[in-house]
Amino acid sequence: MPEKCVVVTGAHGFIGRNLRAALERRDDCRVIGIGSQDSLESVERALKQADLVFHLAGVNRPKNVGEFAAGNAGFTQSIVDILARNDRSPAVILSSSTQAVLDNPYGQSKKAAEDILSAFGARTGARVCVVRLTNVFGKWSRPNYNSVVSTFCHNIAHDLPITISNPVNVVELVYIDDVVRAFLDVIGDGASGLVEVQPTYASTLGELADKIYALRDIRRSLVIPDLADDFTRKLHSTYLSYLDPDDFAYDLDMKTDNRGTLAELIKSANFGQMFVSRTHGGILRGNHYHDSKIEKFCVLQGEAAIRFRHIFADEVIEYRVSGQTWQVVDIPPGYTHHIENLSDQEMIVLFWANEMFDPNRPDTYFVEV
């Protein structure tokens, strides 16, 4: 496939950095990034080579309202003028806003930019695509600038207060990877005209803050939210991107006794919980059964015997397992069971249970195997 020269304006901004990363992974694109510090001469050199332009540059938080027109419509006109005098008509994909239909200075400037490009397309035959975006969230967005999600994530991750003007106010959000995917689709499908990115997510500010606080508290509670919910999963990824590099790791609550050490890793009402143990040589853990709870054992290090006995039978079933060959052993209900470290070295075992431990209903009954 022939290589395309793709020019990205606003290349160092939030959306631009994410799009550049995706484009640079492709083998059919040569990417030229244009930032706010580049001169018009640099912009012209880039546009003279362009087969495709992603026009992401714009102004949305100016010091004075007049900058909207200059930064959005004005710069778009400059791009069109450069292309015209160099007799170039590449495809142009504009990052616009859902506010382009509103009667405010920002919306008016974005609509003007759309109209400038539409006229360019009509005059030259160039393919023009307008992608109207609502509030975009995801990694690399600048906090305290133009994204309430990034502000909440940054402040909560750094134990700073947040301000909620009205907790019942609803914001409509779209995730950066969905935006980038829509941009990449435009390259391949030849779309033109107006495009809106889906899916979008509606949340009140109060609900949004509560979700992010819950994500912060995973380190204490170990409780993972329902990641089958698409918005929660994407918000979780976004929140973690705001941690400082020296804050990626956290300690677990390790319970130690004469047998060794055990610690919970993660738990959820939806998938149960995982925990890990270190067991001293020759030690046996277990000798209990469950009515409903099921478990999975996986020995990561060491040699072990996992033994079962149906509570109404005498036959003992034994599985020999080793950290040399990882194998998962299912623990059915109604079978008392234990695991014994067969060596004099430490044994490490990863466990999963299909429900979180409830001290009020432990479903654990001690019976010798």
The candidate with the shortest Cα–Cα distance to 243, out of 267, 218, 276, is 218
What does each C-alpha distance from 249 to 34, 157, 239, 252, 319 come to in angstroms?
36, 13, 15, 10, 35
- Residues with Cβ within 8 Å of 54's Cβ and at least 6 positions away in sequence, in order, are 6, 7, 8, 9, 16, 19, 93, 95, 183
DSSP string covering 117-135: HHHHHHHH---EEEEEE-E
Phi, psi (rounded to 5 degrees) for 62: -80, 165
First-to-last CA distance in the chain? 65
The candidate with the shortest Cα–Cα distance to 309, out of 284, 289, 291, 328, is 289
Sort strands 201-204 and 170-175 into parallel, antiparallel or unpaired: antiparallel
Domain spanning 4-133 has what CATH number? 3.40.50.720
No. of helices (H) and no. of strands (E), the chain: 10, 20
Give the span between the Cα atoms of 99 and 134, in whole angstroms: 8
Say what the pLDDT of residue 248 is.
97
Please give the CATH topology (third level) of the domain spanning 255-366: Jelly Rolls (2.60.120)
Say what the pLDDT of residue 1 is.
55
Give the span between the Cα atoms of 94 and 254, in whole angstroms: 53
> Tens digits of per-residue pLDDT, 242-264?
999 999 999 999 999 999 999 99
For residue 123, give both structure tokens: 């005059």
Segments of the chain assigned to CATH 3.40.50.720: 4-133, 135-175+197-250
For residue 22, give both structure tokens: 């995706």
Please say whether the dihedral angle defined by the alpha carbons of residues 351, 354, 356 and 361, taken in this order, is positive or negative: negative
Residue 48 has a CB neighbour count (10 Å cut-off) of: 15
Which segments of 48-169 are extended strands (E)? 52-55, 91-97, 128-133, 135-137
> Tens digits of per-residue pLDDT, 281-293?
999 999 999 999 9
CATH 2.40.50.140 assigned to domain 135-175+197-250? The reply is no
Whether 213 is a known active-site residue: answer no
For residue 1, give both structure tokens: 């496939």
Low-confidence ranges of the chain (pLDDT < 50): none
pTM of the model: 0.91
Segments of the chain assigned to CATH 2.60.120.10: 255-366
DSSP H or E stretch at residue 178: helix 176-189
- Residues with Cβ within 8 Å of 225's Cβ and at least 6 positions away in sequence, in order, are 211, 214, 215, 232, 236, 268
Name residue 365's beta-bridge partners.
Answer: 289
Name residue 8's beta-bridge partners.
Answer: 33, 54
